[in-house]
Amino acid sequence: MRDLSTFLELSESFRGRTVLVTGASGFIGAHLCRLLAHHGAIIEATSRRSRPATPGNHHTHVLDLCDAAAVRQLVEYVRPDFVFHLSAITSAARDVDNALPTLHANLVSTVNLLTCVTQIGSCQRVVLAGSLEDAGGMHVPTSPYAASKHAGTQYARMFNALYGTPAAVARIFMVYGPAQPDRRKLIPYVAFSLLRRQVPMLSSGERLVDWVYVQDVAQGLARLAIAPGVEGTTVDIGSGTLTSVGDVARQIATLVNNGVEPLFGAIANRSHETVCAADIETARRLIDYVPSTSLAEGLRLTVEACRLESLAESYCLANS
């Protein structure tokens, strides 16, 4: 009954409405666009590079979000009812060389978009993608990425307080699921390594993480866009449960079941990692978000998808 009521609510909210999605070709963005299209939204996507045309109510605009004039031209042309700003450099690398590119790609683009949406004034809600690494308060950011996300959240709050911009931030926890393009991320790295009978080289595996299935994230973002009274707030989108890296890697090994096991302690632990679980009770109260995919089921679906990808790659290699 809950699934049916959620479906009807999202369909009523998005059918025939224009939705601007930045980062639409990314991992979360692609899943979100499929969800919104399923509910009848007209999707206007942005990309830095030209991509093949996508069938259905989906149009792609090639532009650099750091170009304020280009962003204004796009927003004036599209006049979106909703905006999801997911485009970002997502690497949490701590190299100093990462600071300036992250500032531009993650923060300047956010301020440009908030400014244009505010000036044009047709948008019902702007949803920004935050990060679990943005611990807020007096915590020192653990990477340029974390600093850019924290600053973006503060700009969203300022725009809402000063200019009435209907902005809200989704603090997204550790996302995983089928078709995750960055195979350096833990779950695809371990899965593809094991499927190729290669030993995954891991840290101690002791770090505790809130893992959240990508389709649950898409649902949470959609709900944040339509929930009343959440402008200027940050809402956690996660599972609410901490599970260690080691436990996740061992579950993947059990699912692959070919006798190969991860090697823990092969690389050093990173210092100052953010450890926290999503506040699911507040998310349920504010936006009626309840994650529906257990970690066991999500890992099963993910490993099966990785298995199919691996078989397809092996077939193409053998017949090339």
What domains can you pick out in the chain, each with its CATH number? 2-318 (3.40.50.720)
Supply the pLDDT for residue 270. Answer: 84
* Predicted TM-score of the model (pTM): 0.93
236: part of which helix (H) or strand (E)? strand 234-237
The mean pLDDT values, 10 residues at a time, for the chain of 320 residues are: 74 95 93 95 86 62 93 95 91 78 90 96 94 70 86 96 97 96 94 96 96 98 97 97 98 97 94 88 97 97 95 77
Q: What is the pLDDT at residue 97?
A: 76
Q: What's the Cα-to-Cα distance from 246 to each of 68, 174, 182, 268, rounded to whole Å?
A: 44, 15, 20, 14
Q: Could you tell me which residues come within 8 angstroms of residue 239 by beta carbon, excluding any fewer than 6 positions away?
A: 173, 210, 211, 212, 213, 216, 277, 278, 280, 291, 295
Please tell me the total number of residues recorded for the chain in this structure: 320
Res 55: pLDDT: 47
